[in-house]
Structure 1
Amino acid sequence: MRTRPTLTWTPPAGLPPGTTDPRPVADALRRGGVLVLSGAGISTESGIPDYRGEGGSLTRHTPMTYQDFVGDPRARRRYWARGHLGWRTFGRARPNAGHRAVAAFGRHGLLSGVITQNVDGLHQAAGSDGVVELHGGLDRVVCLGCGAVSARAELARRLEEANPGFAPVPAATNPDGDTDLTDEQVGDFRVLPCERCGGILKPDVVFFGENVPPDRVEHCRRLVREARSLLVLGSSLTVMSGLRFVRQTAEAGKPVLIVNRDPTRGDTYAETRVALPLGETLGGVAERLGVPLD
């Protein structure tokens, strides 16, 4: 029997409380060498929901797992039908003040790098360079047969042609690019194979139940080793893919700072958690440091 990954986390009693004082974040950035680790919460102000915050998608939606996608053609049909609509929403999303602040901090030499758990490409759209996409990017598609990587926009064009008139209204869009559709709305949506080998196409993202490529993990570990501190932005750190870097930073005796309105699984490792909205907080920090966002 397949087991689904743990998607929820309940904060235990005794976690250190959050603060509304962003000065420790400003102080860390002023010293430089800050490695940013961002999660879905930084993109909510761009209209992309998060997983676990108030009204988060996990309250109504279980993300697609790698095992289901590979092993069940009906699951693939549902995913691609829903994801085809979700891609339209992601394509319209624009960077918000949080993304622009991270890009500005990078331009002013305050960051040592950016790791994102998001698949929306908004850090890059805001102007951040060298972003490590821990879970991949929705703007690419990979063939599970021959390994060819192609542009999601091209597949979207092919899917439009193969499914003329497909325009159901989804109940919601989720952080992984999936949307909420009923089986009736999915209907007989046509899934397309790889043009090169006829293999199964998959978005170039790490599904739940799938491992982050080891070389990518090691690259992130190296970034942690080289950084002076770690700044977590908008992540609950529920899954180990991000939490491991928080633990590594703390074990090395370096500061961990978190900006997230809700408690996180990494709070016990952090010097502070600023419980304020990200755009407002990072914009205020940028102003305090004299860093223009544009």
Structure 2
Amino acid sequence: MDVVVENLSKSFDSQKAIDSISFRVGKGEILGFLGPNGAGKTTTMKIITCFLFPDQGEVFVDKYSIRKHPYKIKQLIGYLPEHNPLYEDMNIIDFLIFVAKIHNIPRYKIMARVLDMLRLCGLENEKHKTINQLSKGYKQRVGLAQALIHDPEIVILDEPTTGLDPNQIIEIRELIKMIGKEKTVILSSHILAQVEATCDRVLIINKGKIVADGTSAELRKSNTNKMLNIKISGGDTDIIYENLNHLDNIEQIDITGEGKFKLQTSLNYEIEKDIFQLCASKQWYIKEMTPIEKHLEDIFRQVTQN
């Protein structure tokens, strides 16, 4: 089931949280929704889930509009907000039964759905505990279980791994990937390595506008610069730095060690030839010149620093 966002805008007083953004997410796709704090991610998610109403624009979930069919859309969406809302004095089974009743799951199906969620979310060994006895990781699992118990077509997860240890992050990541095989998933996270490992596509928002959209590979390919690690011997590091800094098309250069530099330049410019000619003229020796593989973090910083 597709989610289609069309020209969505929302302001809070004089502050524009999102500014005419549009995108589509399809069934079986996990979209990583990224941006700095205050970029508009949570506002967008709250509008899609019908917790907020936009100033302008529209969201369609399948054929349903957030303006005309908010109740129907809420039935189709499973939502785990950033601050996981749980009734901590209830035990896990009672809480999931309570959520199932809210979603109007037929009474004869409720226990089967609860048992499915306990198994899917790895809660079987904890099922009789009250929620306030659980670790942060298991509380997140309960949050995922409540978001999935009514078998929604769309799953929206806002920072689902906040506060988890590395082992818990991997477990939740694998669970999300399994869910994403059959459902439409929108995932917000500040852990960029997790997004790169989990998501089929990445959308980056900054100051309320979409600044990048594509797979990790597509974003790396479309990036307009390249980076190199360079090691040069035979001269003073500061003098080498000054000479490198005067080459054409140098966008940024940092000293990373004795005779070692990290250099950024235009993607289509062959800076290697200029460096070779410079070193030959100064009788310096190039010990290393290797390209740095770009990661999502590099792309994120480039498109959100302005």
Name the TM-score class by shorter chain: under 0.3
Larger Rg: 2
TM-score by length of 1: 0.28
TM-score by length of 2: 0.27
Larger RCO (CA under 8 A, 6+ residues apart): 1
